[in-house]
Every structure is written in C-alpha cells, then in structure tokens.
Amino acid sequence: MLGTLHPTADGKFVLRFELHLDQSREIVWHALAQPEPRACWFPARVEFEPRAGAPLSFRPTKVQVEKFGIPADQVGTGEVLQANPPALLEFSWGDEVLRWELTEDSAGGTNLIFANTIADASDAPAIAAAWHAGLEIVKAQLDGTKPESSMWERAEELTSDYATTMR
C-alpha cells in the first residue's frame, strides 16, 4: 500500500494510496465518516456531516498537543466538497483536498483509493507516512486486529522510507 506522489497540472501534488479491504463499502464508509472509528486513525479531531457543502472543523488531538506542541485551541476549517455514501467522500482541509473513493470488488470487499492534494512536495514524505499509518489503523480496525504500534509511532518509522522514495 505504499503511497505515490504525482504532480498536477496546476503545480500541486497528489499523494495516492490504494488499499483492498475485505469488508463491504458500507462498513468501510462507516470507518471513514463516523466520529468514533475515525478518531482512531485520522490525524486530527474532525467534525462534520457527510453532505456536500457542510463545514468541517479540525482540532488537534491530545498527541498533537503533547508531542508536536500544537496549541490545544487551534481550529482549522474546511468544507465537504462531495459526499456520495458509500462511494465517495471529499473535503478540503485548509489548502489541501482529501478524497476517499470506495468501489466494490467481485468478492464483496472494497477497493479504497485515497488521495491527498498538497501544495508543497517537500511536505510529502511526512504527510504520506502519516496517511499510510492511518490507513493501516483503518485496516486493522476493520479486520478486528490490534495495530503493532500507534499511528504516530508508525508514521515516524515510515517517514524516512517515504523521504527516500519521494525524491
């Protein structure tokens, strides 16, 4: 599930991940769109209704406050750009765009394509490592297994790998 980095026509970059999950799109959608499962893997506390035009708010997690010194009262904003349950969720987060596409496979599982559009490629290794770690948590959560490490620990492990592959 190694993420890849692609330039866009407008000078931005897209981090792209593909992941196969054994669960149905409805179950995967629940892990993406509902607050409780999302809190285990998303790198911020995000609140929103999954409907186009809905506002989003992003607040730091306890780990972000303690480990990275992000102010506890910092609030980011965004907007749901597209929501078509259980197939598509896309929203903005500041100047980034996050997009999850869910397609059903022939065995009743789900193919998940996640894309994160970013402005600066120099940020890509750390961002890719964090999303990779988060998607591993989603998979473990859906499979009913326990991750070997926390999302943040795993992201730290992966950052140097991504720095090498995204030169």
pLDDT digit string, tens, across residues 131-157: 999 999 999 999 999 988 899 999 999
Q: How many CB atoms lie within 10 A of CB 102?
A: 22
> Which CATH architecture fits 4-119?
2-Layer Sandwich (3.30)
What is the arithmetic mean of pLDDT over 70-88? Answer: 96
Q: Where are the domains positioned within the chain? A: 4-119
Question: In whole angstroms, what is the distance from residue 109 CA to residue 157 CA?
Answer: 29
- The predicted pLDDT at position 76 comes to 95
Residues 112, 30 contacting (CB under 8 angstroms): no
